[in-house]
């Protein structure tokens, strides 16, 4: 690939250092993804400018004018402190006609809203947990069709923000309390879903029209106490010590009969297309004992850190980290002249 000017868009508090301070392990830092992407692209000979963004789009415009990037590498997960605003930054890149990596704004919007996405998937006959939305400041009354246990989550937040053992509720009082927690502490509407007991599987995909489905990944809880629910809480995802203590790790899903693995891959593709995703995404699923596949959510622009699930499943498919980033950039350049992919 020819040498490119890459504008890496990152959150202003996640600017990676140009030179690693001594004794710092990047894998344990909050800016690990940003660091991995930037250093790998630089290592491949590209000129990378990192731009830290908080709430000022003007900075993006100036960087586009001055740096004249061939492509923007989008690592933003929020704008102005709002998770759902990242789609607007991508829309702005479209208006500026700058090719960008990852998902288009419409796909981000559809996938981010955990209710809209389930409505679209239901139309396409893809199995999702039954659910109800409790908007902020409105009455909290459980519809009778939804029986306990139930999962209470933010309608739009990501990365297990607000997900804890207390998110799994078994009675109306606990339900009410947790919905109020989401309203007041997370500051968003809440979605309450039927709890799906089962194996937790992730399918990662790469592509715009032609899709590459990466090997199915599984989150394992090997030393979790019996009474603790096997759900991917914030602690499970982000607390290294907790992971070690409870034997939490992820790896290629074992013991999936080939026909079942193929069904999971097909569900992954159908979700990706139904939600109009592009670039790369990870679909979170649950597989029940009787082999029903439920889609929990789709994650456009999932975490790209080296050694994390997406990169690891690419690795298992024979795609190195550097190749993965190149493929993501290639896609961006290929759709350069296509309005709204």
Ligand X SMILES: Nc1ncnc2c1ncn2[C@@H]1O[C@H](COP(=O)(O)OP(=O)(O)O)[C@@H](O)[C@H]1O
Mapping DSSP onto H, E and C, the string for 250-299 reads EEECCCCCHHHHHHHHHHHHHHHHHCCCCCEEEEEEEECCCCCEEEEEEE
C-beta closer to ligand X: residue 57 or 140: 140
Q: Which residues bind ligand X (CB under 6 A)?
A: 129, 151, 153, 158-161, 163, 193-196, 200, 231-232, 284, 286, 296-297
Residue keyed to tokens 């998902």? 103
Residues 6+ apart with CB under 8 A from 270: 124, 126
246 binds, among ligand X, Mg ion, none (CB under 5 to 8 A by kind): none
Residue 152's DSSP bridge partners are: 192
C-beta closer to ligand X: residue 231 or 305: 231
Contacts to Mg ion from residues 74-93, by CB under 5 A: none
Question: Nearest distance from residue 284's CB to Mg ion, in Å?
Answer: 4
Q: Of 57-65, 83-91, 169-177, 277-285, which segment contacts Mg ion by CB under 5 A? A: 277-285
DSSP assignment, residue 154?
E
Residue nearest to Mg ion (CB): 284
Number of residues that bind Mg ion (CB under 5 A): 1
Contact by Cβ (8 Å): 154, 186? yes
Residue 284 interacts with Mg ion (CB under 5 A)? yes
C-beta closer to ligand X: residue 286 or 335: 286
46 binds, among Mg ion, ligand X, none (CB under 5 to 8 A by kind): none
Q: Of 27-35, 112-120, 220-228, 284-292, which segment contacts Mg ion by CB under 5 A? A: 284-292
Task: Using alpha carbons, list the distances in angstroms from residue 137 to 27, 162, 189, 209.
Answer: 40, 18, 9, 41
Question: Nearest distance from residue 24's CB to Mg ion, in Å?
Answer: 28
Residue nearest to ligand X (CB): 232
C-beta closer to Mg ion: residue 11 or 286: 286
90 binds, among Mg ion, ligand X, none (CB under 5 to 8 A by kind): none
Structure tokens that stand for 321 in this block: 């980290």
Q: Helix, strand or coil for residue 73?
A: strand
Residue 204's DSSP bridge partners are: 282
Nearest to 102 by CA among 77, 121, 82: 77
Q: How far apart are CA 265 and CA 211, in angstroms?
A: 11
C-beta closer to ligand X: residue 288 or 320: 288
C-beta closer to ligand X: residue 51 or 190: 190
C-beta closer to Mg ion: residue 48 or 296: 296
Question: Nearest distance from residue 211's CB to Mg ion, in Å?
Answer: 20
Q: Of 177-185, 233-241, 278-286, 303-311, which segment contacts Mg ion by CB under 5 A? A: 278-286
Cα angle at 279 between 274 and 283, to 5 degrees?
Answer: 50
Contact by Cβ (8 Å): 116, 156? no
Residues 6+ apart with CB under 8 A from 29: 16, 35
Q: Of 14-22, 166-174, 188-196, 281-289, which segment contacts Mg ion by CB under 5 A? A: 281-289
- The footprint of Mg ion (CB under 5 A) covers 284
């Amino acid at each position: 690939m020819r040498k490119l000017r890459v504008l890496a868009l990152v959150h202003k508090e996640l600017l990676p250092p140009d030179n690693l301070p001594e004794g710092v392990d990047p894998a344990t830092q909050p800016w690990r993804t940003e660091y991995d992407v930037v250093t790998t692209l630089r290592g491949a000979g590209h000129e990378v400018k990192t731009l830290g963004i908080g709430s000022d789009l003007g900075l993006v415009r100036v960087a586009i004018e001055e740096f004249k990037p061939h492509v923007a590498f989008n690592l933003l997960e929020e704008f102005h402190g709002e998770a759902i605003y990242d789609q607007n930054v991508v829309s702005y890149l479209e208006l500026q006609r700058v090719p960008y990596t990852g998902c288009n704004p419409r796909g981000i919007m559809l996938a981010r809203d955990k209710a809209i996405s389930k409505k679209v998937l239901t139309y396409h006959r893809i199995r999702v947990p039954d659910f109800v939305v409790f908007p902020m400041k409105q009455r909290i009354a459980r519809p009778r069709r939804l029986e306990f246990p139930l999962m209470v989550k933010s309608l739009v937040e990501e990365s297990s923000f607000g997900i804890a053992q207390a998110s799994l509720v078994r009675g109306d009082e606990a339900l009410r309390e947790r919905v109020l927690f989401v309203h007041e502490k997370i500051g968003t509407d809440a979605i309450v879903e039927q709890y799906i007991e089962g194996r937790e599987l992730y399918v990662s995909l790469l592509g715009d029209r032609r899709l590459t489905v990466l090997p199915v990944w599984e989150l394992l809880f090997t030393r979790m106490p019996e009474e603790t629910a096997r759900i991917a809480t914030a602690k499970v995802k982000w607390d290294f010590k907790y992971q070690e203590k409870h034997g939490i790790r992820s790896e290629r899903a074992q013991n999936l009969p080939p026909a079942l693995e193929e069904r999971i891959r097909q569900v992954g593709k159908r979700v990706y297309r139904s939600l109009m995703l592009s670039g790369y995404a990870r679909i979170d699923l649950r597989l029940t004992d009787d082999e029903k596949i439920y889609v929990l959510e789709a994650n456009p622009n999932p975490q790209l850190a080296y050694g994390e699930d997406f990169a690891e499943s690419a690795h298992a498919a024979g795609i190195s980290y550097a190749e993965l980033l190149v493929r993501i950039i290639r896609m961006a350049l290929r759709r350069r002249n296509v309005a709204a992919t």
